[in-house]
Amino acid sequence: MSLSPPRDEASIAVRDRVYIDAKRAAIWGLSVNIVLVVAKMTGGLVLRSSALIADAVNSIGDVTSSVAVRAALHVAEQEEDDDHPYGHTKAESIAGFGVSLLVMFGAGILAIETIRQFSVVQAIPHWSAGVIAAVCSVIKEALFRYTSHVATRLGSAALRATALDHRSDALGSGAIAISLFAAPYLGAFGPYVDPVAALCVCGVLMMTSAKMFLAIAAELMDQQADAATVAKVRDIAADVDQVKEIEKLRVRKSGLEYFIEIHVQVDGQLSVDQGHRIGHEVKNRLLANMPRVRDVHLHIEPWMGE
C-alpha cells in the first residue's frame, strides 16, 4: 500500500518525467560506453597501445556504473511501503557513491599496472591508435554535455557523477590522442609517451572520483538543500493566508526528490481545527508547486507577536 501524500495529476506527471529523463540519460551512457569498450580494446590490442587498453578498461567500469545507476533510478522511483516509509529515493545517491568508489579503485589498479610497463621496452603504437582515441574523446565530450545538462536540471547526484566521469574520459582520451600523434617525433622518449599518457588518465580519474565522493557523501549525510530551493519553500509557505512566521525550515535532498520539515507560526488564539486547516494548506501548496517534494512534515506553533 502506498503511503505517499495526495498529489494532483500535474504534480505526478512532472515527478514521473524527472525519472524518465534521468533513466534515458543513463541508457544513453550505457549504450555509448559499450561501443567505446569494443573500439578501444580492439584498437589497443591490435595496435599494442597500453594507453588505449587502459582507457578501455576504464570504459568497462563506466558500463558497470551505468547499469548500476539505471537500476538505482528504477528503485528510487518506487513508492513508499511499510518497510520504507520514507521511500527509496536514496538508492540514486547510493549508486552515485558506488560509481565514485569504482572509478577511484579502477584508476588505482590501472596506475599500478602501467607503472610496471616502464621496466619493459615499449614500441611506439601506430598513429591510427591516436585517431581512435581522438574520436572517443569527441564522443565522450558530447555525452558529458548531454548528461551534465540533464543532471543539472534534475539535481541528480548519480548523473552528475556519471557526467564527471564522461568529462574525465574525454580529457583522458584527448591526452592519449595528442601523445600518440606526437610520439614518433620525440626520439628516445617516444616509446614512453604511451604509458605516461595512461598514467595521466589515471591521475585525472582519481581526482574526479574524489570530487564525486565528497559531493555525494554530503548528500547522504542529509545536508541542507541549496539556498534557492530553501528560499522557494519559505516563500510558498509564507504566502499562505494567516501564516505569521516560518520558525524552522529543514529541506534535505534525497536522490532526485526532497523532504521538508517546517514549523509554521499562526495566531495562537485560533482553534485547533483552524490551525490544522492552515497547516494542510501549506503542505498542499508545497506539494502542488514543487512536484519533486516527496513529503512535508509540518508542525504548527502559536505566534505571540504583535
The pLDDT value given to residue 3: 40
pLDDT at 60 over 60: yes
Task: Work out the burial of residue 84: count CB atoms within 10 Å of its CB; fewer than 13 is exposed, 13-18 middle, 19 or more buried.
Answer: middle
pLDDT at 4 over 50: no
User: Which residue in this structure is represented by grid cell 521538508?
Assistant: 260
Per-residue HEC secondary structure of 223-253 comes to: CECCHHHHHHHHHHHHCCCCEEEEEEEEEEE
pLDDT digit string, tens, across residues 61-117: 778 777 877 787 778 777 777 788 777 877 877 877 877 787 788 778 777 777 776
d(CA 66, CA 43): 23
The pLDDT value given to residue 249: 92
Pick the closest to residue 84 from 294, 293, 298, 297 (CA basis).
294
Average pLDDT over residues 236-248: 90
Q: Which residues, including other chains, have CB under 8 Å from residue 74's CB and lie 6 or more apart?
A: 23
Contact between 59 and 102 under an 8 Å Cβ cutoff? The reply is no
Residue 235 pLDDT class (50, 70, 90 cuts): very high
User: What Å distances lie between residue 14 and 17, 75, 206, 267, CA to CA?
Assistant: 5, 18, 36, 35
Give the number of other Cβ atoms within 10 Å of residue 41's Cβ.
17
Average pLDDT over residues 263-285: 90
Give the number of other Cβ atoms within 10 Å of residue 33's Cβ.
27
The pLDDT value given to residue 209: 78
**pTM of the model as a whole:** 0.63
Q: Percent of the chain at pLDDT above 70?
A: 89
Quote the DSSP letter at residue 302. E
Residue 263 pLDDT class (50, 70, 90 cuts): very high
pLDDT at 268 over 50: yes
Count CA atoms closer than 13 A to 108's CA, side-chain side.
Answer: 8
pLDDT digit string, tens, across residues 176-198: 787 778 777 777 777 777 677 77
Average pLDDT over residues 127-146: 86
The pLDDT value given to residue 6: 56
Average pLDDT over the chain reads 80
